Amino acid sequence: MPSVRCYDCGRSADLADRKRCRCGEPLWVETDPEAFEWPTGRNPGMWRYTDLLPVDPPSGVGAAAGGTPLVRTPRLDVGGVQSFLKDEGQNPTGSFKDRGSAVGVASALDRGVERIGTVSHGNMAMSTAANATGAGLECVVCVPADIPDERLSHIAHYDPEILRIEGDYGRLYEVSLGIEEVEFVNSDTPLRVAGQKTVALEICEAFSPETPDAIVLPVSSGGQLGGIWKALHELRTAGLLEEFPRLYAAQAAACDPIVRAFEADEKEVRAIEGGETVAYSIANADPPGGNRALAALRDTGGGAVSVPDGATRAAQQRLAREGGFRVEASSAVAYAGLERLVERDEIGSGERVVTILTGHGFKESHGIDVDARTVSLDELASVL
């Protein structure tokens, strides 16, 4: 059974007993990175890093998580800053959530847990359902009662049990972690975060022995950011990373509690009254991993940036029209965030920056105006 540890107060616990520390903060799965070296083995995708994971490589769809491309994209450079994109849309269900779902499911199998669940109506629900069924586990997905059917259909393809929850959906995260009948793998639970850290291992290995100057990512619960921070510390302990890349959190301006706390120099993120945003996947007004996210930004010398919806849509278009990457709005928040950070001189000319494109845009239904002429076959050559 993996043991878990609090980044803040240092208390350890057994994973079976606790998903959050007694002090209220999220927990990390403990690892032993001292002797870790860049792997030479042939495990697929994220399973290259099994030495830093609490489970062995699984079979099935979980084995297909991670190993996504990191590409240099000169056409998407911003004012002299060299742009690199990490294309997490290439995971089996189109987002980085598959890394964490794969670890959560593999660990459940190991321990004889038969039912897992999640509190989500988006990528995490899809990913958890896909990974559960791929391993022969039952899956329960809790969604808000008023969710549109169209959003549910993406989840329903994998045929989990879907429960529409009436009442305060915001409280469900906490309530679900106390339920014993089903093991919930929520956004900042230790096993999910253990999987999600592998994106940073891949980025750092791709740059090694050098290091990117900064990583910009969209942040909601703070789970991914917490995982990335953990990975950086593991690599430093292993002697594979001298300097940390600066980590930058991008949030939608309508729902940006982590940015507000960062700018106000607070140690804790306070819940806010969040508004509507096109980046609904990252609209968490009371992020469970918010304090840890703040600590990560400060420890690495990074920062935080809010992005209004207009800039997000513009970035989404630029990524597709100039770069060929179709991403969901939440991912575009990160690229728009990069543009603002360069404008504010927090990221400077000549620096090498990785933007994490967290989720594919195919499942987003917002339309665009299509411009297409009708031409007869005989005229084709003459109109071109």
224: partner contacted, choices ligand PLP, Zn ion, none (Cβ within 5-8 A by kind): ligand PLP
* Measured distance CA(195)–CA(49) in Å, rounded: 10
- Which range touches ligand PLP (CB under 6 A), out of 28-36, 47-55, 110-118, 122-130? 122-130
Report in angstroms how near the CB of residue 349 gets to ligand PLP at its nearest: 28
Site string for Zn ion, 17-56 (x = CB under 5 A): ----x-x-x-------------------------------
- Pick from 83, 101, 198, 220: which binds ligand PLP (CB under 6 A)? 220
Q: Does 9 bind Zn ion (CB under 5 A)?
A: yes
Token digits for 136? 């022969």
21: partner contacted, choices ligand PLP, Zn ion, none (Cβ within 5-8 A by kind): Zn ion
Report in angstroms how near the CB of residue 297 gets to ligand PLP at its nearest: 12
- Pick from 2, 4, 6, 235: which binds Zn ion (CB under 5 A)? 6
**Three-class secondary structure of residue 262 per DSSP:** helix
| Opening angle at CA 227, ends 76 and 181, nearest 5 | 125
Start-to-end CA span in the chain (Å):
65
Q: Which of 167, 238, 181, 174 is nearest to 204 (CA)?
A: 238
Q: Closest residue to ligand PLP, Cβ-based?
A: 359
List Cβ neighbours of 203 (8 Å cut-off, separation of 6 or more). Answer: 70, 86, 212, 215, 245, 354
Token digits for 111? 């321990």
Q: How many residues does the chain have?
A: 384
* Measured distance CA(244)–CA(249) in Å, rounded: 15
- Which range touches ligand PLP (CB under 6 A), out of 55-63, 77-85, 174-182, 218-226? 218-226
221: partner contacted, choices Zn ion, ligand PLP, none (Cβ within 5-8 A by kind): ligand PLP
Alpha-carbon distances of 100 from 63, 78, 195, 275, rounded to whole Å:
12, 31, 4, 28
What is the total count of residues that contact ligand PLP (CB under 6 A)? 21
Report in angstroms how near the CB of residue 15 gets to ligand PLP at its nearest: 19
Contact between 95 and 88 (Cβ < 8 Å):
yes
List Cβ neighbours of 184 (8 Å cut-off, separation of 6 or more). Answer: 19, 116, 117, 118, 119, 176, 177
Q: Does 256 bind ligand PLP (CB under 6 A)?
A: no
Q: Does 154 bind ligand PLP (CB under 6 A)?
A: no
Alpha-carbon distances of 357 from 70, 94, 342, rounded to whole Å:
10, 10, 18
Report in angstroms how near the CB of residue 200 gets to ligand PLP at its nearest: 13
Strands 12-14 and 352-357: unpaired
- Which range touches Zn ion (CB under 5 A), out of 2-10, 96-104, 210-218, 298-306? 2-10
Contact between 224 and 281 (Cβ < 8 Å):
no
Q: Does 134 bind ligand PLP (CB under 6 A)?
A: no
- Considering the complex, state which of residue 8 and residue 174 has its C-beta at the smaller distance from Zn ion: 8
Token digits for 114? 């038969």
83: partner contacted, choices Zn ion, ligand PLP, none (Cβ within 5-8 A by kind): none
Residue ranges that bind ligand PLP, judged by CB under 6 A: 95, 97, 122-124, 187, 218-225, 281-282, 328, 330-331, 358-359
Residue ranges that bind Zn ion, judged by CB under 5 A: 6, 8-9, 11, 21, 23, 25
